[in-house]
């Protein structure tokens, strides 16, 4: 488990820009919708890419493991990520 302080300083999925690539480092908590994302295939370590933002700015469309997911920013805000540095 990541310590409290470290969680605060972590980058979130909602901080990313269009086109950014990152991989998941953890989730802020164990709430149902986050667990569901895990079930859908978004678990620790997997890579993702931010495809675009919806016309009104929210939600975010990401691509991971070959499928596309639309996530609200409020949820993306609880997903801790680490940017990939240009490595696919």
Per CB under 8 A, residues contacting other proteins are: 32-33, 35-41, 43, 52, 54-59, 61, 65-72, 74-75
Residue among 3, 30, 16, 6 at smallest CA distance from 83: 16
- Residues with Cβ within 8 Å of residue 32, at least 6 apart in sequence: none
Pair 61, 69: CB distance under 8 Å: yes
Distance, in Å, from the CA atom of 46 to the CA atom of 39, rounded to the nearest integer, reads 13
DSSP state for residue 57 in the 8-state scheme: S
């Amino acid at each position: 488990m990541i310590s409290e302080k470290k969680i605060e300083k972590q980058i979130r999925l909602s901080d990313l820009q269009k086109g950014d690539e990152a991989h998941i480092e953890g989730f802020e908590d164990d709430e149902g919708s986050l667990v569901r994302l895990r079930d859908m295939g978004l678990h620790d370590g997997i890579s993702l890419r931010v495809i675009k933002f919806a016309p009104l700015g929210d939600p975010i469309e990401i691509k991971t493991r070959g499928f596309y997911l639309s996530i609200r920013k409020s949820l993306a805000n609880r997903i801790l990520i680490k940017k990939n540095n240009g490595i696919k």
